[in-house]
């Protein structure tokens, strides 16, 4: 009944197009302003990082970009060491997480077993109460084990991931069971099935979770703050905070900006390069 022909639509066709354009403008102007506002902090920090120190406080100053600020920062604080620590932590956590979430995600999606519902709720509880809320008891535990001020101590609480398990579980559910059955007929055991059938198909899940988890570890602050007391084991986020805290006045803004850019750049560049894959993976993995 609804799809009756409406001659009015054709008659006012020209007018309608104009109206759409005004509508479009009404959407575009606020949205692009929002986009601009969202990018101001980034643009400003990059500008301050590359401008000669003497011009830092002059907002209208225009100058050719210089690397002096970065040179000073690298001379003043061991950012190379911080980078190394953060990379070890990120890679270490991700490596263990990938193995654990694959096993757990498979168990929750493909196996019907006693206790699965209860265990699933237990996993979800970690989604609610993240390890960083439990800094105090976890720190006490690490002191008891003598793991404070070690990289492994910083990594341990994050090895099990409820979020990763959920993503793998949802993704496996979209994979046809016939693939597994075919492999079984060929005589593959459980680990061969996981490795040959599921791991390749879980790539989108790994990419999207990997990106989220890596950025979480890269950015993690409070836990490393209580765990480390030496420069040797300090990750980037903490190094940056210590560096920024050592300056009180605005005169060193160019240095703090340069340090901030140093810390943010790798993840941002990774994100820009893998943006398309990340978005695609994010849409096709179970996150919905």
Partner 1 sequence: MDSSQILQTSACLPARDEVYQRALHKEIRSKWRRTLTGWLLLAPSLVFLAIFTIYPIIKSVISSFYKDNLSVMDPVFTGLDNYLSLFHDMVFWECFFNNLLVAVVTVPISIAFAVIMALFANSLKKGKTIVRLGFTYPTFIPLVAAANIWMFIYTPIYGLLGYINPEWRFLADSDTAIWALIVMLIWKQAGYIMLFYIAGLHGISRELYEAAKIDGANSVKIFIKITWPMLKPTTIYVLIIALTNAYKMVDHLYIMTKGGPGNATNVLLFYIYQTGFDYWDTGKASAMTVILVTLLLMVTSICFFVQDKKAYYND
Return the residues of window 76-135 that contact partner 1 according to CB under 8 A.
Answer: 99-101, 103-104, 106-108, 111-116, 119-120, 122-135
Whole-angstrom Cα distance, residue 196 to residue 174?
17
Q: Is 236 exposed, middle or buried (0-12, 13-18, 19+ CB in 10 A)?
A: buried
Residue partners of 263: CB distance under 8 A and separation at least 6: 236, 237, 239, 240
Rounded to a whole number of angstroms, the minimum distance from the CB of residue 123 to partner 1 is 7
Q: How many residues bind partner 1 (CB under 8 A)?
A: 96
By beta-carbon proximity to partner 1, the closer residue of 67 and 133 is 133
The HSE-up count of residue 215 (CA atoms within 13 Å, CB side) is 13
Q: Is 159 in the site for partner 1 (CB under 8 A)?
A: yes
The CA-atom distances, in angstroms, between 194 and each of 11, 55, 161, 198 are 62, 58, 19, 5
For the segment 190-209, give every residue that binds partner 1 (CB under 8 A): 190
Whether residue 57 contacts residue 253, with contact meaning beta carbons closer than 8 Å, is answered with yes
Dihedral over alpha carbons 54, 55, 58, 61 (to 10 degrees): 160
For the segment 173-192, give every residue that binds partner 1 (CB under 8 A): 173, 190
Q: Is 45 in the site for partner 1 (CB under 8 A)?
A: yes
By beta-carbon proximity to partner 1, the closer residue of 66 and 241 is 241
Give the largest CA-CA distance in the chain.
81
Task: Pick from 25, 42, 63, 182 the residue near partner 1 by CB under 8 A.
Answer: 42
Using CB under 8 A, which of the segments 71-79, 146-154, 181-189, 220-228 binds partner 1?
220-228
Q: Is 264 in the site for partner 1 (CB under 8 A)?
A: yes
Rounded to a whole number of angstroms, the minimum distance from the CB of residue 12 to partner 1 is 15
Residue partners of 180: CB distance under 8 A and separation at least 6: 110, 193, 197, 198
Q: Is 10 in the site for partner 1 (CB under 8 A)?
A: no
Using CB under 8 A, which of the segments 61-69, 70-78, 136-144, 180-188 binds partner 1?
136-144
Rounded to a whole number of angstroms, the minimum distance from the CB of residue 178 to partner 1 is 15
The HSE-up count of residue 13 (CA atoms within 13 Å, CB side) is 4
Rounded to a whole number of angstroms, the minimum distance from the CB of residue 131 to partner 1 is 5
Rounded to a whole number of angstroms, the minimum distance from the CB of residue 200 to partner 1 is 19
């Amino acid at each position: 009944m609804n799809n009756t022909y409406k001659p009015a639509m054709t008659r006012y066709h020209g007018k309608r197009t104009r109206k759409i354009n005004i509508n479009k403008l009404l959407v575009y102007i606020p949205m692009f302003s929002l986009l601009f506002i969202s990018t101001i902090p980034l643009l400003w920090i990059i500008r301050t990082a590359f401008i000669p120190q003497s011009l830092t406080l002059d907002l209208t100053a225009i100058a050719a970009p210089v690397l002096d600020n970065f040179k000073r920062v690298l001379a003043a604080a061991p950012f190379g060491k911080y980078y190394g620590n953060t990379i070890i932590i990120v890679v270490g956590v991700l490596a263990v997480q990938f193995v654990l979430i694959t096993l757990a995600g498979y168990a929750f999606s493909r196996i019907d077993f006693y206790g699965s519902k209860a265990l699933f709720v237990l996993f979800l509880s970690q989604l609610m109460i993240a390890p960083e809320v439990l800094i105090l008891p976890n720190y006490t535990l690490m002191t008891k084990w003598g793991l404070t001020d070690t990289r492994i101590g910083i990594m341990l609480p994050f090895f099990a991931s409820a979020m990763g398990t959920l993503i793998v579980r949802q993704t496996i559910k979209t994979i046809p069971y016939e693939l597994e059955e075919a492999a079984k007929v060929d005589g593959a055991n459980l680990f061969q099935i996981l490795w040959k059938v599921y791991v390749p198909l879980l790539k989108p899940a790994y990419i999207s979770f990997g990106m989220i988890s890596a950025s979480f570890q890269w950015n993690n602050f409070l836990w490393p703050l209580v765990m480390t007391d030496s420069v040797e084991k300090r990750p980037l986020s903490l190094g940056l905070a210590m560096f920024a805290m050592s300056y009180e006045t605005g005169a060193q803004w160019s240095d703090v900006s340069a340090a901030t850019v140093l810390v943010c750049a790798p993840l941002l560049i990774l994100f820009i390069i893998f943006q398309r894959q990340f978005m695609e993976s994010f849409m096709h993995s179970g996150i919905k």
